[in-house]
C-alpha cells in the first residue's frame, strides 16, 4: 500500500532559524497518526507547513503521489487536505449553516449538508446561530463538520480537545475513530491530550524541540513509561 502523505526531511521556520528540523513521516490511508509533544515543540508549525501556510525551507511533502511544493493554501482543499487550525477557526460572524456551507463551497455541485447534520445533531439544532453564540464544544464540532463537508482524504487536526470537557473530548475522539473505520479517512491528529489521542491512533509521533524524538505504534507508545515521563509528562 502506498502512503497517502509522505513527508521527507521537512525543515521549516518563521524566520531564519528553523522550528522544525528534518522531520519525516508517513500517513497511510485510513490511518490516524497522533503527533504529540510539549508546548512549543512545533506541532502547529508542522500542520501549517503541510497545508501550505508556511513554505518549507527544505524537504518534500508528497500527497497521493503528487508533490505539494508551491501549491497555494486555497488549493489544498481541492487536493483532499482539510486543516482545522488551532483554536478551531470558526468564522464567528457567520451562522453555523454558513460555516458548514463554506466547507463544501469549492465542490461543484455543492454537497448536501445533511450527512454532516446527521453526524452532529447538535449543530442541526443551532444551524441559524452565529458562530460566537456557540459553546467551545459546539465550535469544535462545527470546525470538524466544516472540514468534513469538504470531503477530504486527509484531516489535519490541531488540538481538538483544547478547552473541552473530557466528555466532549471523548465524543470527538470516538467520532474520529468511527470516521476512519467507516470512510477510510486519514487523520494527522495533533494533541496534548496524549491519552485520548493514543487511545484512537494507530501510530504516534513524538516531537521535541522541532525534531522527532520517537515514533511507534500508538499502543506501544502508551505503554512506554520512560518515554511518557521524558516527553509527554504523565
Partner 1 sequence: MDRFLFLTFDGLSRGAVYAAFALALVLIWRATRIVNFAQGAMAVATAYVGYSVADATGSYWLGFAVAVLAGLLLGAGVERVVMRFVDHSSPLNGVVVALGLVLIIQGVLGMIYGNEFRPAEAPFSRDAFNIGGVALLSRYDVFVFAAVGAVVVLLTLLFTRTPTGLRMRAAAFAPDVSRLLGVPVGGMLTLGWALAAAVGSLAGMLVIPTELGLHPTAMDVLFISAFTAAVLGGLDSPIGAVIGGLIVGLVLSYISGYLGATVAPMAVLALLVVVLLGRPDGLFARSKARTA
Ligand X SMILES: Nc1ncnc2c1ncn2[C@@H]1O[C@H](COP(=O)(O)OP(=O)(O)O)[C@@H](O)[C@H]1O
Chain residues that interact with Mg ion, rule: CB under 5 A:
44, 86
Q: Which of 5, 7, 19, 33 binds ligand X (CB under 6 A)?
A: 19
Q: Which of 4, 5, 23, 42 binds ligand X (CB under 6 A)?
A: 42
Beta bridge partners of 154: 81, 186
Stretch that binds partner 1, among 8-16, 80-88, 198-206, 216-224 (CB under 8 A): 80-88
Q: Using the CB atoms, write b or e for 39-71: b if 16+ within 10 Å.
A: eebbbbbbbbbbbbebebeebebbbbeeebeeb
Contacted entry of ligand X, Mg ion, partner 1, none for residue 102, CB cut-off 5 to 8 Å set by kind: partner 1
DSSP 156-201: EEE-TTTT--HHHHHHHHHHHHHHHHHH--EEEEE-S-HHHHHHH-
Q: Distances in Å between the alpha carbon of 231 and those of 20, 160, 198?
A: 17, 20, 14
| Of 81 and 201, CB closest to partner 1 | 81
**Cα–Cα distance between 170 and 174 in angstroms, integer?**
6
Does the protein bind ligand X through residue 37 (CB under 6 A)? yes
Contacted entry of partner 1, Mg ion, ligand X, none for residue 133, CB cut-off 5 to 8 Å set by kind: none
| Of 147 and 222, CB closest to partner 1 | 147
Binding site for partner 1 (CB under 8 A): 51, 53, 73-78, 82-83, 85, 89-94, 98, 101-103, 105-106, 110, 146, 150
Amino acid at each position: 500500500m502506498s502512503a497517502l502523505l509522505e513527508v521527507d526531511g521537512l525543515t521549516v521556520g518563521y524566520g531564519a532559524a528553523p522550528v522544525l528540523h528534518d522531520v519525516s513521516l508517513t500517513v497511510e490511508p485510513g490511518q490516524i497518526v497522533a503527533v504529540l509533544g510539549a508546548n512549543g515543540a512545533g506541532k502547529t508549525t508542522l500542520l501549517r507547513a503541510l497545508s501550505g501556510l508556511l513554505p518549507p525551507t527544505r524537504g518534500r511533502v508528497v500527497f497521493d503521489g503528487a508533490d505539494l511544493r508551491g501549491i497555494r493554501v486555497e488549493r489544498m482543499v481541492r487536493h483532499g487536505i482539510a486543516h482545522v487550525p488551532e483554536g478551531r477557526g470558526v468564522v464567528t460572524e457567520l451562522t453555523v449553516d454558513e460555516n458548514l456551507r463554506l466547507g463544501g463551497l469549492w465542490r461543484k455541485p455543492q454537497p448536501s449538508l445533511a450527512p454532516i447534520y446527521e453526524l452532529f445533531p447538535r449543530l442541526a439544532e443551532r444551524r441559524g446561530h452565529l458562530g460566537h453564540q456557540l459553546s467551545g464544544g459546539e465550535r469544535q464540532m462545527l470546525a470538524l463538520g466544516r472540514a468534513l463537508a469538504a470531503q477530504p482524504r486527509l484531516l489535519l487536526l490541531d488540538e481538538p480537545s483544547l478547552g473541552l470537557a473530557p466528555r466532549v473530548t471523548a465524543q470527538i475522539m470516538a467520532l474520529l475513530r468511527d470516521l476512519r473505520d467507516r470512510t477510510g479517512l486519514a487523520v494527522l491528529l495533533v494533541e496534548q491530550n496524549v491519552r485520548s489521542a493514543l487511545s484512537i491512533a494507530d501510530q504516534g509521533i513524538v516531537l521535541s524541540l522541532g525534531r522527532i524524538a520517537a515514533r511507534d505504534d500508538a499502543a506501544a507508545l502508551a505503554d512506554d513509561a520512560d518515554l511518557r515521563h521524558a516527553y509527554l509528562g504523565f
